[in-house]
Homo-oligomer: A and B are copies of this chain.
Amino acid sequence: MRRDRVQALLEDVATGRLPVDAALAQLDDAPVDELGFATVDTHRALRQGFPEVVFGQGKLPEQTVAIGERLAAHGDGFLVTRADAATQAALLARWPTIELNAVARTAWLPGAQAVTRVGKPAAVVTAGTSDLPVAEEAAETLRAFGHGVLRVTDVGVAGIHRILAKRETLHGAGVVIVVAGMDGALPSVVGGLVRVPVIAVPTSVGYGAAFAGLAPLLTMLNSCAAGVTVCNIDNGFGAAVAASRILAD
């Protein structure tokens, strides 16, 4: 029951148009969401100009375009993740100004009003080049949510000088997302180098005993650098949302 409907009900009671018993019965049965409950996502989109996010995987290109039509009509813009080449082509044909990222498999149509944020940027760090699709998904999501992104690429721990050389960059970030497959060791090193929150994302990259991301997932959960938290395998989008929660706070 929306607030205006509750107000109307109360006014009916105040004016005697509605007996107390009848009003009580109506309130008793009111579905919870009519009392003002709302999910974070919707509220944030409304208040902050966040784009809606569409998970493209498992959807036909025309389905994704149709959802986009509906969202674009509100002027908020939208972000599509896990958009394959066909979906990206269909989106581009419909919205020539949509911004595609082939590596990230994303498409972003900015909303009518630009989102501007004043906080620190997020750093997105990858251990190897094959971790890039996941990292780019995180970076594009952050960008669509209005955050600055610092990319640090191919700094796996087997050549430890590479990440050490990027310490200055890391120190400029408000949160660090570390994306790594295989041994998943990079977040532990980064967690020891910076004081800001570190979000680790395992990827399904690697030889047999990586077991499609299980190995780096376990590595990251057991990080010897205290305070590292972990997202699902290949979940660049989730890491970006977690980072946005931190930066927006």
Contacts and interface: CB of A to CB of B under 8 A. Distances in A.
Nearest to A233: B208
B219 A227 contact: no
Interface string A147-163: 00000000011111110
How many copies the complex holds: the figure is 8
Interface stretch (A69-77, A85-93, A99-107, A199-207): A199-207
Interface in A185-222: 185, 188-189, 191-199, 202, 204, 206-222
B211 A235 contact: no
B204 A208 contact: yes
Interface of A: 3, 6-7, 10-11, 13-14, 16, 19-20, 23-24, 27-29, 31-41, 43-44, 58, 127-128, 130, 156-162, 164-168, 174-175, 181-185, 188-189, 191-199, 202, 204, 206-235, 237-239, 241-242, 244-246, 248-249
A242 B175 CA distance: 11
Contacts of A213: 208-209
B195 A245 contact: yes
Contact of A127 (B43, B209, B224): B224
